[in-house]
Structure 1
């Protein structure tokens, strides 16, 4: 395995990795690149992808004007080879995990604002020249579209490169304020540097934007795992360039300072507007406040269950424990196939065939792993002092023991390289990189997330699981389900891993996604988040009362953004300028665009 160039560190680049993880990042990069069978980039067939209805002359004039506003170095044309890179060195010009052609969902240029005032300037420029803009925080929304603009030729606003300051950490209030380019790594390291007894809540990978993840309603695994629910206060640039502060931030502070309650109380007075800026294209969030968690004792654990058919009983056992807040965090229930996957070993290590890994082989290989011959694996963490943790674990072990053959493990019962040690770090607010390992499953691996919500109830969860089992087999993909469990709902997240050099796998992955969305919606279950290529389909599943929700969203969009310049099509919300003109991706248009087609309409 050849050694790759070192990944960037936090001291070198805002999006880098902490020095404590430098060796791990290097090993992860080396391992991922050892499975590559394609070049880093291929020659481009086209030069700059122009925005819709824009000539090259008009575009050049607009770019020249933008460079005058921001400086020439802060507006870069996307006319160079497209390099997919990897997690820590990802593109901001396209989706590294491209499903359609690599040159389809691309920006025309990338702009780097350095302040909220710069963002306002860009928005006003976009309105003047009627060029669509597509803001990203850090572009690490992997599995959901990355940095790719929904409308090809849009100018990407990379907010992270120059807007990456931690603006405030209030130890007494246990809160912070960050810009879009602050990663979980960066926030964690700063809190450690200040020796504050505070935790952040981190998702599985720590390189993403704290602000961006919350805006997309991502989750973590401590008791404060609902990231949007634990935000407090936003500073937003509206599509007309006007500046808005939500919540208590709308109240001016004394002598022009921020008022002291902006990060203490979320709604303020009147309608609670924050929600319309999550998963939308109604504004660009430039600052955001967050609650932090006080440091506490914690104990992670793992419980295994022997049979596939234990699934409904496991869910029924979990529900009262979660609703009564006996389970300390947002735990995960995973199928044992994931125990093979997170070893970082390729599928070829376990199975020489190209079809999904047979169930008897999964069982055989699992029997050689620390989890043993089992079907389901539950990862949880309890919090508090030693006595309360012991009491909680006693109740949890007693309750789960109702399932015959279940086994309980502490981290000390398992080898140092076992996945549980990574879970223990994440569940105590420490951002890591371990979740990259499953990308070694296939050469040139990429993935899509299918993410429906079910009630925490066996009958509902079984319906969604059965649909996944059937359709993954139909389209020839290994099934890797992870259920993130709360008291009343579960995020059933399926990770569809495909080889991005294979057009056949891309088409099958897209068809699988499309049918999963349709089949679960037919049964009354919808996604909480999806890849930008499937946003139109998912948005249309929320069709109660003649699509009342979408009509409401479109009314807001047209009122705030009459020129349709801000992220048209994001999460299925199209402005009047684009609506009904062939931009919506429905039916099999994604599959047809694989291998050189286009998702843009023929106007």
Structure 2
């Protein structure tokens, strides 16, 4: 234990005592405090590997064990950091915000309860997208998942961090319906209709009576979610759509201005995402196949890559789901709209129930191959994401792209960016890919990220989630009313977690007793 990092105000003796108390409460087989254990829970994509190291980990597998673990944490005032599966690489992975915290690994909680009539599911934190997909396939259930680009993580964890997919159910947080939560002090609550004993509508009606708490536990540190209800999409009768490529960087404006109204009118009910050439190419090739020159790639190399793989500067996949006759009518509208802005390439696609299906995110199939993008530079690859929310407007999107692209070139980095559609907004996801074995490159990333945050702040744009290193920075950009929202969050935090033991600092929410640990 000599090398274990210690949280504030905790001695090594107290940490040793807490470890023994965890072993008594959970069993020694669910408590992990060796050096190997600590290393395995570090953030593999971190810019500075000396930060965010845990003191150890625990792995409760039931609600009762979560309660018991929190009792120990409160007794020793020891911070714990819950994770579902810890696969959100680029945002912190398994690592805690506060060094010396004990990771509460919930990946062993894997129960699935499915209501086939209503198309709802209750999952525990450890249920991954592959687990739920396999369950649906094995039981021949007529429902489709919505999966993120990298699907090895937790269904619950992704929804609670506002992750997205590509189908009509792609805004995962919107499809949460009913939570079971262990509060920091150990009480168990159920939200919505779950607060009504034996209610058959817990997963059918998301609001209940009085304040709606489901979203209060999203991206917060107000409780440990142990069960989550979620709506799934009924298997459609047909799927129609197109993969579209556009040749020029400035085509982004027209793409947004044509696709946006179709999304708002719900001709398109999915969540399409416009991605640049590198989002496609980084899983097909590596940089060293094209150049050994430092700095951002020039237009000539980009053009050569696009030509080889028959891709445009921007590409987007558009899909229609539901009854075949309805899709046929909507496809005519979609085709006319896209042709009006002169794409480089349109590749139509269609499917009817009973036919062989494409195994992609558009059909809710789990996948992990997009993670190959971290191999772009070679070495030990990694990335962090910069993802501001901007208006769904072509001029705004093009201006945001140009500002960001100029910064990538200024810092000598290759640009990977995308613009994901909600109904009224765009999420501008920028992946900052790096090679951890390149000290010069790694020395630029922090300044680069902070510059992007400042640029977005000047436009009134804020990020929707971020890496551990930047949670305080991003939280502080939400400054209206003298930071009124942050003050409200702290009031709720202090009320629910008087000892400040649950995930202190998550998304900038610090308990009053640890506010001195905040770092901008």
Q: Above 0.5 in TM-score?
A: yes
Cα separation, 1, equivalents of 2:399 and 2:479: 21
- 5+ residue gaps, structure 2, are 351-355
1:276 alignment partner, SS class: helix
The counterpart of 1:425, out of the listed 351, 360, 385, is: 360
Contact 1:305 1:403 in 2 (8 A): no
1:281 aligns with 2:228: no
Question: Pairwise mapping of residues 440-519 of structure 1 onto structure 2 (< 5 A)?
Answer: 440-442=375-377, 443-519=379-455
Q: Secondary structure at the match of 1:309?
A: helix
Of 160, 166, 169 in structure 1, the residue corresponding to residue 114 of structure 2 is 169
Map of 2:492 onto structure 1: 556
Alignment deviations for residues 356-415 of structure 1 (CA, whole Å, 9 cap, x no partner): 1112211122112233xx321111111123333232222112112222354211359xxx
Q: Are positions 1:584 and 2:502 aligned together?
A: no
Q: Aligned ranges for residues 345-384 of structure 1 at < 5 Å?
A: 345-371=285-311, 374-384=312-322
d(CA) in 2 for partners of 1:513 and 1:485?
23
- Verify: 1:402 aligned to 2:340, yes or no: yes
Q: Distance in 2 between matches of 1:411 and 1:360?
A: 31
Q: Give the Cα–Cα distance (whole angstroms) in 2 for the partners of residues 264 and 278 of structure 1.
A: 19
Which residue of 1 is the match for residue 275 of structure 2?
A: 334
Q: Which runs of 5+ in 1 are unaligned?
A: 1-43, 84-90, 254-258, 413-420, 587-603
Equivalent in the alignment of 1:417: none
Query: What's the CA shift for 1:487?
Result: 2.6
Counterpart of 2:372? Answer: 437
The match for 1:149 is 96
TM-superposed CA distance for 1:503, in Å, is 3.5
Alpha-carbon distance between aligned partners in 2 of 1:451 and 1:423, rounded to the nearest angstrom = 29
Matched, 1:136 2:83: yes
Tell me the alpha carbon deviations over residues 298-355 of structure 1, each in whole angstroms, 9 at most, x when there is no partner: 1342111122122212111111111111124111111123232121x21101222121
How well do the aligned residues superpose, as a CA RMSD in angstroms? Answer: 1.8
Identify the residue that residue 263 of structure 1 maps to in structure 2.
203
TM-score by length of 1: 0.82
- Cα 1:73–1:393 change in 2 (3 A) is same
| Other-structure match for 2:44 | 96
Give deviations 1:450-479, integer Å, cap 9, x for gaps.
111111101221232122112111111111
The structural deviation recorded for 1:423 is 8.3
Does the 8 A contact of 1:177 with 1:289 survive in 2?
Answer: yes
Contact 1:299 1:424 in 2 (8 A): no
Q: 1:76 to 1:153 in 2, by over 3 A?
A: same
Residue 481 of structure 1: CA displacement? 0.6
Choose which of 135, 150, 153 in structure 2 pairs with 1:190. 135
4+ runs of 1 displaced by more than 4 Å? 421-424
Other structure's SS at 1:368 match? helix
1:448 deviates by 0.3
Q: Is contact 1:217–1:228 with CA below 8 Å preserved after alignment?
A: yes
Other structure's SS at 1:547 match:
helix
Do the aligned residues in 2 keep the contact of 1:300 with 1:424 (CA within 8 Å)? no
Does the Cα contact within 8 Å between 1:247 and 1:262 map onto a contact in 2? Answer: yes
Instruction: Describe the shift of the 1:78–1:513 C-alpha distance in structure 2 as closer, same or farther (beyond 3 A).
Output: farther
TM-score (norm 2): 0.95
| Counterpart Cα distance in 1 of 2:18 and 2:81 | 16
Q: 1:252 aligns with which of 175, 197, 200?
A: 197
Counterparts of 1:250 and 1:349 in 2: how far apart (Å)? 58
Alpha-carbon distance between aligned partners in 1 of 2:65 and 2:274, rounded to the nearest angstrom: 44
For the 8 Å contact 1:452–1:526, the answer to whether it is kept is yes
SS of structure 1 residue aligned to 2:426: strand
Work out the CA distance in 2 between the residues paired with 1:320 and 1:577: 48
Aligned residues: 513
Q: Give the alignment partner of residue 163 of structure 2, picking from 214, 218, 241.
A: 218
State the match for 2:353 in structure 1.
Answer: none
Q: Hey, what's the Cα distance between the residues in 2 that align with 1:310 and 1:434?
A: 27
CA contact (8 A) 1:313 1:403 kept: yes
In structure 1, the partner of 2:184 is 239
> For the structure 1 residues 273 and 81, does the alpha-carbon distance in structure 2 shift closer, same or farther, using more than 3 Å as the test?
closer
Aligned pair partner of 2:60 in 113, 123, 131 = 113
- CA contact under 8 A between 1:70 and 1:113: conserved in structure 2? yes
Question: What is residue 5 of structure 2 aligned with on the other side?
Answer: 49
Inter-CA distance 202–110: structure 2 relative to 1 (3 Å threshold) = same
- Cα distance in 2 between the residues matched to 1:445 and 1:405: 33
What's the offset of the Cα at 1:81? 7.6
